[in-house]
Structure 1
Amino acid sequence: MEIVGRFQTGIQAMELKSTHNIIDSISTVAIIYNMNWSIYIVAAAKF
């Protein structure tokens, strides 16, 4: 599940780079990664 999440994040990042400048893309990717890591931490805590 983690691999799929990272793959989807990569797709979103590429789409953002095609429509926004690089700085906005980096900021958005950072936010997405932070959200993903939060989800992973919560999921790991449940097991």
Structure 2
Amino acid sequence: MAEKEKTYMPQSTAGIMRYMDVEDRIKIKPSHVVAISMVFGAAIILLKLFA
């Protein structure tokens, strides 16, 4: 039995792009997002206190 190849049609113009198939993306762990937001929040608080 022959294997089927995935064929991709130009679907981006219809707004139905399948982003799960895209491998060229930045992968960030959720814990990194939380840590970055906490550092950003702490920096804002420090700037309000000392500036």
TM-score for both structures, normalised by structure 2 = 0.44
Q: Per residue, is there more helix in 1 or in 2?
A: 1
User: In terms of Rg, which structure is larger?
Assistant: 2
Larger relative contact order (C-alpha < 8 A, sep ≥ 6)?
1
